[in-house]
Amino acid sequence: VVDSRVATDQHTNMGTTQSKKADASKPKPMIKEGQRVPNVDFVTRVRYSLKGENPFEWKTLTSDDYFKGKRVVLFALPGAFTPTCSSTHLPGYEKNYDKIKALGVDEIYCLSVNDAFVMRRWGLNQGLQEDKTLYSNGFKKVKLIPDGAAAFTRGMGMSCTWTSQRGFGERSWRYSAVINDGVVEKLFVEMGAVVQNSEEDPLEVSDADTMMRYLTEKKA
CA distances from 182 to 30, 34, 38, 106, 131 (A): 16, 10, 9, 13, 25
Do residues 174 and 206 lie in contact, with contact meaning Cβ atoms separated by under 8 Å?
yes
Q: What is the DSSP letter of 103?
A: T
Residue 160 falls in the annotated catalytic set? no
Distance CA 212, CA 108 (A): 12
CA distances from 27 to 31, 43, 155, 194 (A): 11, 20, 7, 12
Phi and psi at residue 136, in whole multiples of 5°?
-80, 180
Phi and psi at residue 176, in whole multiples of 5°?
-140, 160
Residue 95 backbone zone (phi > 0: left; psi -120 to 50: alpha; other: beta): alpha
| Marked catalytic residue, from 85, 187, 211, 212 | 85
Q: What is the DSSP letter of 88?
A: I
What is the radius of gyration, based on Cα positions, of the chain? 17
Query: Three-state DSSP class for 82?
Result: coil
- Residues known to be catalytic: 85
